[in-house]
Amino acid sequence: MKYKVLVAFSLLVSFSFAQITNTRKWRKTESDSMQYALIMYDEKEYLAALPIYEKLYYAHPDEIFLKFVYGRCCLYRSDKHEEALKLIGEVYAKNKKAENIEFDLARAYHLNYKFDEAITMANQYIANKRAIPEDKEASKQVIRYSENGKILYANPTNAKITQAGNILNSENEEYVPVVSADESIMIFTYVGKESTGGRQNKLMQPFEYGDYYEDVFQSKKVNGEWTKPTPITNINTNTHDAAIAISPDGQKLFVYRDNGDDHGDIYISYLKDTTWSVPVKLIGEINSFAWEGSCSLTSDGKTLYFSSERSGGKGGRDIYRARLLPDSTWGKVENLGDSINTALDDDAPFIHPDGVTLYYSSKGKNSMGGYDIFEAKMKDSAFNVTPRNLGYPINTTDDDIYYVLSASGKTGYYASGKKGGAGLKDLYFVDPGTTEKAPVVYLVKGNITFNKVPAEGDIKVEITSNNNEVYNKLKSNTATGNYVTTFPAGAKYKITYTYQNYYPRTLEIDASAITEYTEKIFDIDFSVPPDTAKPVKKDSLLADNFTPKTPAQTKAKTFAGRYGDIEAKGLIFRVQIAAYKKPRNYRYNHLKGLGKVEKLLLNDGITRMTIGGNFKTLNSAYEHMKKVIEAGQKDAFVTALYNGKRVYLDQLVKMGIFKD
Residue-wise pLDDT tens digits, 165-179: 999 999 899 999 999
Residue-wise pLDDT tens digits, 308-338: 999 999 989 999 999 999 999 999 999 999 9
**pLDDT value for 650:** 83
CB 260 within 8 A of CB 239: yes
Q: Percent of the chain at pLDDT above 70?
A: 93
First to last CA, the chain: 80
Residue 482 — pLDDT band, cuts 50, 70, 90?
very high
CB 153 within 8 A of CB 369: no
Residues 410-421, mean pLDDT to the nearest whole number: 86
Residue 372 — pLDDT band, cuts 50, 70, 90?
very high
Question: Is 460 in the same domain as 609?
Answer: no
Question: Is 386 in the same domain as 259?
Answer: yes
**pLDDT value for 2:** 32
Question: Is 149 in the same domain as 171?
Answer: no
**pLDDT value for 23:** 66
Reference 255, options 281, 275, 231, 274; nearest CA is 281
Residue-wise pLDDT tens digits, 144-166: 999 999 999 999 999 999 999 99
Residues 177, 244: Cα–Cα separation, whole Å = 8
**pLDDT value for 201:** 82
- Mean pLDDT (the chain) is 89
**pLDDT value for 538:** 33
Domain boundary among 154, 189, 212: 154
**pLDDT value for 387:** 95
Residue-wise pLDDT tens digits, 100-119: 999 999 999 999 999 999 99
Residue 54, beta-bridge partner list? none
Question: Is 412 in the same domain as 270?
Answer: yes
Domain boundary among 525, 554, 579: 525
Question: Is 504 in the same domain as 406?
Answer: no
Alpha carbon distances (Å) from 464 to 92, 476, 486: 69, 22, 15
Residues 233, 237: Cα–Cα separation, whole Å = 8
Query: What is the DSSP annotation of 122-151?
Result: HHHHHT-TT--HHHHHHHHHHHHHHHHHHH
Residue 473, beta-bridge partner list? 460
Question: Is 230 in the same domain as 346?
Answer: yes
Domain count, the chain: 4
Q: Which amino acid, residue 203?
A: L
Residue 436 — pLDDT band, cuts 50, 70, 90?
confident
- Range among 351-365, 556-570, 601-615 with highest mean pLDDT value: 351-365
pLDDT at 10 over 50: no
**pLDDT value for 117:** 98
Query: Which residues 6+ apart lie within 8 Å of 467 measured at CB?
Result: none
Q: Percent of the chain at pLDDT above 90?
A: 69
Question: Is 300 in the same domain as 329?
Answer: yes
Residues 606, 583: Cα–Cα separation, whole Å = 10
**pLDDT value for 488:** 95
What residues make up the domain containing 484?
A: 441-525
3-state SS of the chain: helix, strand, coil percent to 5? 25, 30, 45
Question: Is 232 in the same domain as 107?
Answer: no
The answer as to whether 432 is a domain residue is no
Residues 251-274, mean pLDDT to the nearest whole number: 90
Residues 455-479, mean pLDDT to the nearest whole number: 95
Residue 231, beta-bridge partner list? 217
Question: Is 52 in the same domain as 174?
Answer: no
- What is the maximum alpha-carbon separation in the chain? 114
Residue-wise pLDDT tens digits, 528-543: 776 543 333 333 333 4
**pLDDT value for 1:** 31
Residue-wise pLDDT tens digits, 201-232: 877 888 887 889 999 999 999 989 999 999 99
CB 242 within 8 A of CB 214: yes
Specify the CATH number for the domain of residue 70: 1.25.40.10
Specify the CATH number for the domain of residue 446: 2.60.40.10
The number of C-alpha atoms within 13 Å of 240 and in the hemisphere containing its C-beta is 18
